[in-house]
Amino acid sequence: MNKPIWDYYKCSIYPIKAGALRKEKDNIWKGTEGMIQIRTEDYNKIQHDSDALNLYTKLTQKHKGRNPIFKIAPQSMADQGVIPNMGRSRIDKGRQILLEAKVLEEVTPPKANRAGTYRFGKG
């Protein structure tokens, strides 16, 4: 039987496929597929809005643990289809909700033809 991942990590995320984690020596688990973890507190703040949740998931996938400061360029992201079926206005709306929920912090505001820079909030 495949146990849900939250049995191992004590957090609320969806189960992953059987075989996606394998145990290596010294009880270290290595993944064969990517996995995104979202703090329950952050999820509870943004779960009411699918645009904010989709944007947060994509930002977590691309930047969490890698880039402490990153850019969000809604028009460029929409043009490149970074998040399928999300245009500029939906990315803008998602970003605003993430900022209001303090899940993201603005480092430098966006200006004409320049993306703003952001970092993940401290909770």
52-92 confidence digits (pLDDT tens): 999 999 999 889 888 899 999 999 999 999 999 999 999 99
**For the chain, which residues make up each domain, given as ranges?**
1-35, 40-120
83: part of which helix (H) or strand (E)?
none
CA 27 to CA 53: how far, in whole Å? 32
Does residue 26 surpass a pLDDT of 80? no
Does residue 14 surpass a pLDDT of 50? no
CATH topology of domain 40-120: Arc Repressor Mutant, subunit A (1.10.10)
CA 77 to CA 114: how far, in whole Å? 13
pTM across the whole model: 0.72
Q: What pLDDT is attached to residue 22?
A: 57
119: part of which helix (H) or strand (E)?
strand 116-120
Q: Which amino acid is at 77?
A: M
